[in-house]
Amino acid sequence: MLIDGHGRTVNYLRISLTERCNFRCQYCMPEKPFSWVPKENLLSFEELFLFVKVGIDEGITKIRLTGGEPLLREGLDGFIKMIHDYKPDIDLALTTNAFLLSSVAQKLKDAGLKRLNISLDSLKPDVVAKIAGKDVLAPVLKGIDKALEVGLGVKINMVPLKGINDNEIVDVMEYCMERKIKIRFIEYMENRHANESLRGMHGREILEKVKEKYTIHALGREGASPSFNYSIEENGYEFGLIDPHKHDFCENCNRIRLTAEGHLIPCLYFDEAMSIAKSVKEGDIEGASQVLAQVLRDKPKENRWTEDDPSKEKEISSRAFYETGG
Ligand code: SAM
Ligand code: SF4
């Protein structure tokens, strides 16, 4: 079992397979970074798999593949199969913008993928184009339909932004209701890479929008999930709110993150990381395991998106979400 320096059990590994993306979301990567990580610096699937095995052997039970856009990485189904064959009961999930999903959903399912989180911020083509930087709604919706058709578990992520998609909170939720899939509203997390003019919505403002139409009941957090769940009285539908600005958000944090270059990151907010690249390139299992142990010891108690001390100037994280995988 993996325990961090604050006594929390860590069983969830998120792997960013590439920082590259075919979208330019305003809250993540409004412009292409000055330079991409050179392709030769990316860990190969074999190298990533060596670390995955170390993690699984030591207590990881859930793996999420993310990015950037993970569907841009060639041979993804082969990597999914490697992990699945090593531990078939692993909870293996992927987060994607779904642009390329419709043609690969079946292949990913056959390889062993169980679940998908898909980003959907609006149902209006022009609003999606404004947020994502290009006109992508139709292929995204096609991707969602295909994922459901092939039997993959689907959850939708929506980041509500003031003056952009805040009037669509109920509409996107009802789209999910009709398809019996869960939506999680994610509070916009301020970071230095995002478009400066963006204003996110606080969790309570998001809930107010839902309450204009429905009566809601708080259900609470589901284990170590970052999502605080609510149910709708009128029809029993359940949705989630990911609220990293709330002070108890980090109490049960169970995750670590690995970037495509091999940086092992203990917390989404902070820049601190240690590299496993040398170890996995040399096939050094013991070395990779030692880095993992050190990163767990160093895992911070909490992020700094909390707003407990209003006298403090608001901190802005310099972490790039497209690099760490959100
Ligand atoms: N490209 C994939 C996608 O968009 O789903 C996977 C990577 S993306 C970085 C993972 C998640 O992070 C997405 O649901 C996205 O909405 C979310 N995200 C990115 N930047 C964010 C920010 N500044 N605040 C809150 N969520 C953010
Ligand atoms: Fe790409 Fe996902 Fe970031 Fe949007 S949120 S720019 S789709 S990585």
Report yes or no on 163 lying in a domain. Answer: yes
Q: Is the pLDDT of residue 307 over 60?
A: no
Give me the CATH number covering residue 132.
3.20.20.70
Question: How many domains does the structure of the chain reveal?
Answer: 1
Average pLDDT over residues 239-255: 82
Report yes or no on 1 lying in a domain. Answer: no
Q: What is the mean pLDDT of the chain?
A: 91
Q: Is the pLDDT of residue 304 over 80?
A: no
Report yes or no on 3 lying in a domain. Answer: no
Q: Tell me, using a 6 A CB cutoff, whether residue 69 lines ligand 2.
A: yes
Report yes or no on 184 lying in a domain. Answer: yes
Q: Is the pLDDT of residue 191 over 90?
A: no
Report yes or no on 54 lying in a domain. Answer: yes
Report yes or no on 6 lying in a domain. Answer: no
Q: Report which protein residue has its CA nearest ligand 1's atom 11.
A: 326
pLDDT of amino acid 310 = 45
CA–centroid distance for 234 within its chain: 30
pLDDT of amino acid 96 = 98
From ligand 2's centre to the CA of 33, what distance in Å? Answer: 13
From ligand 1's centre to the CA of 282, what distance in Å? Answer: 32
Buried b (16+ CB within 10 A) or exposed e, 249-279: bbeebbbbbbbbbbbbbbbbbbeebbebbeb
From ligand 2's centre to the CA of 96, what distance in Å? Answer: 8
How many alpha carbons fall within 13 Å on the CB side of residue 302? 15
Q: Is the pLDDT of residue 306 over 90?
A: no
Q: Which tokens go with 217?
A: 């009941």
Buried b (16+ CB within 10 A) or exposed e, 72-90: bbeebbebbbbbbeebeeb
Q: Which tokens go with 134?
A: 């290009």
Residue 29's contacts (CB-CB under 8 Å, 6 or more residues apart) are 21, 23, 193, 320, 321, 322
pLDDT of amino acid 66 = 96
Q: 4 versus 268: which is more confidently predicted?
A: 4
**Which ligand 2 atom is nearest residue 132's CA?**
4
pLDDT of amino acid 244 = 78
From ligand 2's centre to the CA of 66, what distance in Å? Answer: 10
**Which ligand 2 atom is nearest residue 321's CA?**
3
Average pLDDT over residues 284-312: 78
Q: Report which protein residue has its CA nearest ligand 1's atom 17.
A: 326
Residues having CB closer than 6 A to ligand 1 are 21, 27-28, 66-67, 69, 95-97, 119, 157, 159, 186, 188-189, 191, 194, 321-322, 325-326
Q: Is the pLDDT of residue 196 over 60?
A: yes
Q: Which residue range is the domain that position 276 belongs to?
A: 12-324
Q: Which tokens go with 29?
A: 């990567």
Average pLDDT over residues 169-173: 98
